[in-house]
Structure 1
Amino acid sequence: MREVDVLGVRVEMPSNSPIVLLRDVEGQRYLPIWIGAVEATAIAFAQQGVVPPRPLTHDLLKDVLDSTGNELTEVRITEVKDGMFFATLVLASGVEVSARPSDSIALALRTGSKILCADAVLDEAGLDAPAEQEDEVEKFREFLDQISPEDFETT
């Protein structure tokens, strides 16, 4: 397992599908995961520190964990099958709960929990970014700085 950072979310064109981009903290591999618009908004809110007037589902789950004394210790992105990613929430009590990566990432950002990715997932679905592609990554980061959660709302 390798620790990954969340670089951000964006809308992939022309499909108009949101993706979350993760980066291996020790390497030069990136992992794009296609996600739903609601999850993209939840991740963007968490990254930007937006507190909605009423708790979103991920805020509610964090509140439930806090209220019951169950700490989320880490999120693991465990496998990819036929293009579908799978994750596990790992609680301090030792309980592990199967979850979608998008929900797991949104919750991890709210709790400050570590996000890990299986080496096999990075090997299969990760993208190498050699030094000459770092400019493209920087452009992506600049793009992420310019977007807001409202960009992911559907009409």
Structure 2
Amino acid sequence: MRELDVIGVRVEMPSNQPIVLLREVTGERYLPIWIGAVEATAIAFAQQGVTPPRPLTHDLMKDVLEATGTELTEVRITDVKDGVFYAALVLGTSTGQGAEVSARPSDSIALALRTGSRIVCEEAVLDEAGLAVPAEQEDEVERFREFLDQVTPEDFESTEES
């Protein structure tokens, strides 16, 4: 397993599809995962320290974990099949009991950011879906980080009419 940092979220053009970008803590690979707009907003809120007036789903989940004395010990990105990523929440309690719960990576990442839990990824997933960024392309990554510093959660709201 390799530990990952969340670089941020952005909207991929021209598809208008949000992605979350993760990077190996001790490596050069990046892991882009396409996610939904709601999850992109949840991740952006957590990264920007935005506290909504009422708890959103991931805030509620964090509160439930705390109320039951359960800790999110880590998020594991476990597999990728046909472009679909899979993850697991690794939970523990003060009594030493724990559980592993299957979850979408986007929800898992949003929860990990709220709880300060580490995010890890199977080496095979990084081998299949990770992108190595040579040092000369780091400028492009820096521009992406600058974009992330300026993006707001509202940028991920859908503009489609029902």
TM over 0.5: yes
Poorly superposed stretches of 4+, deviation over 4 Å: none
Per the alignment, residue 152 of structure 2 pairs with 148
Aligned mates of 1:110, 1:151 — CA distance in 2: 20
Distance in 2, matches of 1:53 and 1:21, equals 27
Deviations 1:42-81 (A, max 9, x none): 0000000000010000000000000000000000000000
Among 106, 110, 114, the alignment partner of 2:110 is 106
SS of equivalent residue, structure 2 residue 54: coil
Does structure 1 residue 124 correspond to structure 2 residue 122? no
**Aligned partner (choices 89, 97, 100) of residue 101 of structure 2:** 97
Which range moves more in the overlay, 72-81 or 90-99? 90-99
> Match of 2:22?
22
The higher radius of gyration belongs to 2
The correspondence of residues 55-94 of structure 1 with structure 2, limited to 5 A, is 55-92=55-92, 93-94=97-98
| TM-score, normalised relative to structure 1 | 0.99
CA–CA separation in structure 2 for the residues paired with 1:139 and 1:25: 19
Partner of 1:45: 45
Structure 2: segments with no counterpart, 5+ residues: none
CA distance in 1, matches of 2:150, 2:61: 28
> Structure 1 vs Structure 2: percent identity of aligned residues?
82
Counting matched residue pairs gives 155
Partner amino acid, structure 1, of 2:89: L
Partner deviation per Cα, 1:12-65 (whole Å, 9 max, x = no partner): 000000000000010000000000000000000000000001000000000000
